Amino acid sequence: MMIQPRSLQQRTLLFILVPIFLLLVCMSVAGYIFVRTILLNQWGETAIAKLQRTAHQIDMRLRTPKDLLLLLHNRNGSEINRDVFSYIINEIKNLDGVVSVNVEWPKNTPENDYQRPNNVQMMGDMHFYHLEQLTVSSPQYNSQDKNRTISLESKVNNKFDKTSGRVEVVVSFDNLINDIIKASWWKTNKAYLIDDSGNVLANTSVEPNVKTDSSQQPFGSTNELERDTLKAMGKAHFGTVFGPGSPPNEISGFYRLAEAPWTMVVIAPGNKILHPVIRFKLLYILSLTIGIVFILLIIRGTTSRLTKRIKELSAAADTLANGSFGPPLAVTTHDEVGELTNSFNKMTQQLKQRLLLKEAMNVAREVQQNLLPHDIVSLKNIIAGGLILYCDETGGDYFDILRFPGNDEKVGVVVGDVVGHGIGAALLMTTVRALLRGRVVQPGNLGEVMSDVNSLLCQDTMKSGNFVTLFYLEVDRGQNTLSWVRAGHDPAIVYCPASRIFSELKGQGVALGVDETCTYEYNELPIRQEVQLILLGSDGAWEVENQAGEQYGRERMKKKLADNCTLHPDEILQAIIRDITAFRGENPQNDDITLALVKMS
């Protein structure tokens, strides 16, 4: 289910504050893990370095007698001087920590025969011999000396690789590990010296020069970390092993000696190693919490101010939507909200002006509508009516039905189309109406009437370039004549229902307001003794387009007129308008539509 915040504050909390908080927390956790890993690795490197230094000291003590014994190797058959032999043995015995040296040399007594005079030479197979690799034994407790010792033993083989003697160097084990015991890491941590089988040779719980308990459990028999450390020792000479937990409860480091099959192991508690990390963690969490709260408060304060200003804009917009214009909003910042507030103030001022203009347009529309005929004119055998559909509030189309005082058998019908739309066209249409109404009651034929109207209108249109097309028709039953003037307008459509024949009332003449010197001729026909329908209209009626771009056309207009010829003129006009509207569909009306109909019987 998706969360849909309903207010700007909820959106700010959900989409800004919460993600920033989570991002900061994730970065903090990642930083802590990174620092913890670095400290653990540094501890491992430091622990291995300490073990390596201590192991090097033990290796050097073991290496010294081994290097001296290597001098006894003789593979080229040369003789060895007894003084040299005695010197080497004595040097070994004088080494620090050496308890004794036991020699079983080929064809000689076990220990003392190597002290023969210098001129006594070794005989037989002593000319070819060699020592095998030196082995190191496990510590053994010497009850007499109350000391633990180890033996460095090497067998003496002849040229046939048969054992013919041995050399054993007994070394004090406690003296050998004295450097380990004195090391700070041995005293402050849990440490072990173990052999390859996991037997504990020394650890921090056993005092030096004390007989070890034979029942002591091997290393790795009870503790999971010790078992993991023992496995790691079988794969590498040194390394670190982390115990379970995060951070680990314990961490071990190990290093294998080079001169003895022993490994030194140190185990330290995780909280001790990670004490700087834990301290850092507490400080980090505290400072991070303060920082996050501070950042969130700043963001919250900023967004609250932003939300408050947006609410003010929303309230002002709501007031404006209800038709009230309040004072301009104060612009207190130069950011986007400040620009929005400034734009809102401009929009409010312009909207106020547009409303005033709309009111003026409504007044103009009302005035223009009042100038149009509202009723059907019905005289002796003559019925005339018309309608206009404006595409704007006001328009330039015009129709009028003129009656002549004292003559009930004569009626005039005029349809005009002013170039353009809106207020300007409406004003020009009003001017034409006034000029025509004022001139038509004066003496003169229709041609003279139209020429005079054109001359007067040109005085107003010469500078603007505006013009008016117009068709003026007079039906006189007294004289039984049809008279008309066509000033650049579309011809009128004439239909005789009896014969079903269409014709048009044409004629010469240019639009009004174009040429001041233009003269107009009128046309005249006798009225037939049968029903006739005369339809006048503006081009906006038959140039209406549907969504396919197809025009309505005069032919559709004629067909609709013929289909409804028996109806009242007002009903005929309404039927045509409905058909035009259905044809147009969703397309907007781009021009004024004006129709006027005269029915004679």
Residue 396 sits in a domain whose CATH number is 3.60.40.10
Q: Which residue has the higher pLDDT, 563 or 300?
A: 563
- Where residue 143 falls among pLDDT bands split at 50, 70, 90? low
Q: Give the pLDDT of residue 116.
A: 41
The last residue of a domain, from among 170, 196, 216: 170
Read off the pTM. 0.49
Please state the domain count of the chain: 4
Nearest-angstrom CA–CA distance, 103 and 68: 14
- Where residue 381 falls among pLDDT bands split at 50, 70, 90? confident
Q: Give the pLDDT of residue 115.
A: 43
Examine the domain organization and report whether 28 and 132 are in the same domain. Answer: yes
- Where residue 553 falls among pLDDT bands split at 50, 70, 90? very high
Q: Establish if 111 belongs to a structural domain.
A: yes
Task: Encode pLDDT of 66-115 as tens digits.
Answer: 888 777 665 554 555 667 778 888 888 888 888 888 887 665 433 444 44
Place of tokens 């040369």: 78
Examine the domain organization and report whether 411 and 319 are in the same domain. Answer: no
Q: How far is Cα of residue 200 from the mean position of the Cα atoms in its chain?
A: 61
Q: Are strands 407-418 and 163-172 parallel, antiparallel or unpaired?
A: unpaired
Q: Are strands 481-487 and 468-476 parallel, antiparallel or unpaired?
A: antiparallel
- Beta-carbon contacts of 57 under 8 Å, excluding residues fewer than 6 positions away, are 179
Examine the domain organization and report whether 388 and 455 are in the same domain. Answer: yes
Using DSSP's 3-state secondary structure scheme, residue 140 falls into strand
For CA atoms 50, 55, 58, 64, give the dihedral sign. negative
Using DSSP's 3-state secondary structure scheme, residue 485 falls into strand
The last residue of a domain, from among 359, 387, 413: 359
342 to 305, 349, 493: CA distances (angstroms): 17, 11, 58
Examine the domain organization and report whether 391 and 537 are in the same domain. Answer: yes
Examine the domain organization and report whether 346 and 379 are in the same domain. Answer: no
Examine the domain organization and report whether 120 and 251 are in the same domain. Answer: no
Examine the domain organization and report whether 350 and 378 are in the same domain. Answer: no
Q: What angle do CA 304, 309, 314 make, to 5 degrees?
A: 120
Nearest-angstrom CA–CA distance, 474 and 125: 161
Q: Give the pLDDT of residue 144.
A: 64
User: Which of 115, 117, 134, 114 has the alpha carbon at shortest distance from 126?
Assistant: 114
N-term to C-term CA, the chain: 76
Q: Establish if 10 belongs to a structural domain.
A: no
Q: State residue 300 phi and psi, 5-degree precision.
A: -65, -40
Above pLDDT 90, what percent of the chain? Answer: 23
Q: Establish if 413 belongs to a structural domain.
A: yes
Name the amino acid, one letter, at 139: P
Q: Establish if 16 belongs to a structural domain.
A: no
Range of the domain at 298: 277-359
Task: Encode pLDDT of 243-299 as tens digits.
Answer: 887 667 888 889 998 888 889 888 888 777 666 666 766 777 788 788 778 877 877
Q: Establish if 13 belongs to a structural domain.
A: no
Examine the domain organization and report whether 268 and 409 are in the same domain. Answer: no
Above pLDDT 70, what percent of the chain? Answer: 86
The chain-wide mean pLDDT, for the chain, equals 81
Across the range 399-404, mean pLDDT stands at 91
- Where residue 530 falls among pLDDT bands split at 50, 70, 90? confident
Examine the domain organization and report whether 148 and 213 are in the same domain. Answer: no
Examine the domain organization and report whether 158 and 89 are in the same domain. Answer: yes
Q: Establish if 57 belongs to a structural domain.
A: yes
Taking CB atoms within 8 Å and a gap of at least 24, the contacts of 304-308 are: 304/9, 306/8, 306/337, 307/8, 307/9, 307/12
Q: Establish if 14 belongs to a structural domain.
A: no
Task: Encode pLDDT of 343-359 as tens digits.
Answer: 878 888 888 777 777 77
Examine the domain organization and report whether 420 and 532 are in the same domain. Answer: yes
Residue 508 pLDDT > 50: yes
The last residue of a domain, from among 359, 380, 414: 359
Q: Which residue has the higher pLDDT, 556 or 408?
A: 556
Q: Establish if 19 belongs to a structural domain.
A: no
Residue 202 pLDDT > 60: yes
Examine the domain organization and report whether 96 and 153 are in the same domain. Answer: yes
